[in-house]
Structure 1
Amino acid sequence: MTSAEVLVIVHTTVYGQRLRDAHALLDADPRIRVRFTVAPHTFNQGAAAHVRRLGGTVLPWPEAVRRRFDLVLAAGSHGLERVHGPTVRLPHGVGHIKLSPTGVGAGRTVAGLGPEYVVWNGRLVPVAYALAHQDDRTELVRGCPEALSIAEVVGDADHDRIAAALPARERYRAALGLLPGDRLVLLCSTWGSGSLFSRLDAVLPRLAAELPRRGHRAALLVHPNVSAVHGPRTVRARATAAARGVVSVLGPQKDWRPLLVAADFVIGDHGSVTLYGTMTGAPILLAAHPSRGINPRSPGAQLARTAPVLSPSRPLTAQLAHAAEHYRRDGYAAIAARISSEPGRFDLRMRRLLYRVLGLGEPAHPAVPPALPLPAPLWPAAADGGAGAPRAAATRAVSGAASDV
């Protein structure tokens, strides 16, 4: 018999993706019923579809705020003050890279770590804030010291899934349809005016014109917020036209993590996926990285000081070769170490936190991190045809989950 009800608030597709590894720790417990709702949010288009893909049903928001729950999980702050039940908040991105849009100059707090995210009418809304790194606690002291009492460092689920998958990298490459010796160039964009997406019309035609067709593949990940605003069809059409049939354009539900594990090069910006790329050994080039609005103490800012910047006046292949030649693993590993200060321990620490808030004993088995699922093929003709198969150049518009960040 169910003894506890849990509400998972999915503000946006990205927030839903950030929460999936947390509520998965509860899904198999027969004492617990996990419910989902979609809260009001500017970018919540696609959030309900995300819940349905998980196999869940959406509890209407007006009903969700009338009921009481034994635990509430959220990665955003909109409407949390209206929900009844002890709330555990998770970050909606990695590294707390961006500054809050509120405030002026030095008074701007780090996005997610200021009082506007956790305090309502002088009251702390969450009972716990699950952070990824000790650096996040330091930022919390600067931005919202009253929230330090609810902060708990649990690590980062995506970090752990990627780290566990990297030794099996060739399996993920084969599943995608990459042939031995192929080079995968992964472009990843966050959202906003300073993102790679805002420069697609300059970057993608160059990639299409200069990237050798033989032995190379390219794929584009765009932050789901972009699709929420413009619509997935418009985003796909714009990117496909600019790419001229060379780049596979992934929709807002494609799981980005296997692509990152498989990549040989990352061309990115100040988004979370680019930062996770520091874990992989793939050389990173920054096609966009605004100096304004970025937390100067963040690992994202450190990456901007480390990675080479894509030049509009030099051949692309020469820049990729330069990035590979000058890549130094230890410099990027130091940045990657700032993603999680509890590597490999997210499941253990997060489950302990959730059951403590629920007031229930944990299941009598270890919290074993699940393996990152193998992806569906992006280039099935190559996978089916073997090493000698002809390579089609047509762009494949792939639907499914994109970046968490």
Structure 2
Amino acid sequence: MTALRTCDGGPQPPAREWLTLTGRKRVLVVVHTVTYGKRLQEVICLLESDLRIQVVFTAPPHPFSDGVARLLEALGSAVLPWDEAVRMEFDLALAAGPRGVDQVRAPLVLLPHGANFLKRVTEGTDTRVAGLGRQDLTPRGRALPAAVVLPHRDDLSGLADACPEALPRASVVGDPVHDRMVASLPRRRAYRRALGLGKGQQLTAVVSTWGAHSSFGAIEALLPRLLELVGRNRRVAVLVHPNVWSGHGAWQVRAWLAQCARRGIAVIPPEADWRPVLIAADTIIGDHGSVTLYGTLTDAPILLAASPEQEINPDSPAAALARTAPALSPAHSLKSQLAYVAAEYHGHQREQYGDIAARITSEPGRFSRNMRRLLYRLLGLGQPAHPARTRPLPLPPPLARWSSAATAGYDRDYGTGASA
């Protein structure tokens, strides 16, 4: 593309007339939320080092957009205001959610923002699988995306039921989080050392999606029980969905978890990479969200604190996990239940977890290869003459740093509020 143009056919505003490299293919990355942005990072890295391509970002209005500006600033990315981005034309656009994409003037690649298509959404009398419905793929009557990215070939049947006209645009590409976690599993000991775990120390990862039926939706009952676990030989890390942080506010989440953080429980911030923590964990307390499902890739037994049937796609691996993993009981101590799930897992459930993990993607280890091929085909460019590699995850900071950061942030904010 030789020049960007606005939707009325006129030339683009001269906002970036100072660019040194001109005449590049332009890719617009639409970042609605922190969760979407992290997923899209796994895609845009496939375009690195290609001087034929300029990547720019934009952030449309979204109820859970808190943290997006910080994420894009940390990336050092070129960011277009949303009202400017929708007036311009691009060679390709990438998005992990439908909100506002009907206004984007570019061939659109629509990706899932989590593992598989796990959740059902009910609106009035209509119930659909989130991400596969016509509302998700053709919002406000937009033309079909240039590509609908699917992680597993089994998702084709779900797409055929929900939006059959999109089948010709479907590409079974794989799952980037699955591939990076699997590539990183041999580094588990290194992640544990980086997190500050000593020999013999057990790490319990407590993970939650968002919504009233999530683990965090019952946090007032779960928090006192987590404090049971704190001790010399056990550490606890809490990973809460970024939408919880955005919806309630970071100050409020830190305030709710302040006593836990002061007792040494690590509260993982929404911008941090949770995957090394999950790989390092010895046990996982989770729910019906993507992070819990990714936990089946590790060797950690899973205890379900929540698994609402009405919100789970019955054809998804999350439904299989809900039928397999033991459920948290209010009548027994948390320590005894974690011991039970560990015995069950190592006794006979390990193979079942492996079968569930295999349903995350039908293209294991091939996301980078498949996704790059798709992107370059849509851009009309030949691929770079080197393999599209899957890199292991970097080392995380120590758990103690996250604990102190959570309490310091809350105390700082509380102090500021008290003096105002």
TM-score by length of structure 2 reads 0.88
Residues 62-92 of structure 1, C-alpha deviations (whole Å, 9 max, x = no match): 1100111011000010111111111111001
Structure 2 CA distance, aligned partners of 1:129 and 1:7? 16
Question: How far apart are residue 251 of structure 1 and its match?
Answer: 1.2
Distance across 1 between alignment mates of 2:33 and 2:254:
19
Distance in 1, Cα, partners of 2:85 & 2:404: 42
Q: 1:88·1:129 contact (CA, 8 Å) conserved in 2?
A: yes
The one of 288, 300, 321 equivalent to 2:306 is 288
Q: Which aligned pairs between 1:86-101 and structure 2 lie closer than 5 A?
A: 86-101=107-122
AA aligned opposite 2:129: V
Residue of structure 2 equivalent to 1:270: 288
Q: 1:150 maps to which residue?
A: 169
Q: What residue is the counterpart of 1:178 in the other structure?
A: 197
Match of residue 51, structure 1, among 72, 77, 80: 72
Deviations 1:355-379 (A, max 9, x none): 0000011001110112211111123
* Among candidates 209, 222, 244, match of residue 190 of structure 1: 209
Q: What secondary structure sits across from 1:296 in the alignment?
A: coil
Q: Secondary structure at the match of 1:24?
A: helix
Contact 2:148 2:169 in 1 (8 A): yes
CA distance in 2, matches of 1:399, 1:298: 40
- Gaps in structure 1 of 5+ consecutive residues: 382-393, 401-405
Residue 254 of structure 2 aligns to a residue in which SS?
helix
1 or 2 for the larger relative contact order (CA 8 Å, sep ≥6)?
Answer: 1
AA aligned to 2:34 is T
Deviates more, 1:212-221 or 1:301-310: 212-221
Distance 1:47 1:398, change over 3 A: farther
Partners of 2:251 and 2:90 lie apart in 1 by 37
1:258 corresponds in structure 2 to 276
Higher mean alpha-carbon deviation, 156-165 vs 135-144, is at 135-144
Mapped pair 1:374 → 2:395: yes
Cα distance, 1:124 vs. partner? 3.1
TM superposition shift of 1:38: 0.1
5+ residue gaps in structure 2?
A: 1-20, 410-420
1:271-350 equivalence runs, <5 A: 271-327=289-345, 328-350=349-371
TM-superposed CA distance for 1:265, in Å, is: 0.4
Matched residues in 2 for 1:58 and 1:121: separation? 25
1:26-41 matched pairs, under 5 angstroms: 26-41=47-62
The residue type paired with residue 202 of structure 2 is: R
What TM-score, normalized to structure 1?
Answer: 0.91
Task: State, as a whole percentage, how many aligned pairs show the same letter.
Answer: 54
| Equivalent residue number for residue 3 of structure 2 | none
The 8 Å contact of residues 115 and 143 in structure 1, kept in 2 or not, is answered as yes
Q: Could you tell me whether the CA contact under 8 Å between 1:236 and 1:251 is conserved in 2?
A: no
Separation in 1, partners of 2:38, 2:31 = 9
Instruction: Give me the whole-angstrom Cα distance separating, in 2, the residues matched to 1:363 and 1:318.
Output: 54
Larger Rg: 2
**Corresponding residue SS for 1:252:** coil
CA distance in 2, matches of 1:190, 1:123: 29
CA RMSD of aligned residues (A): 1.8
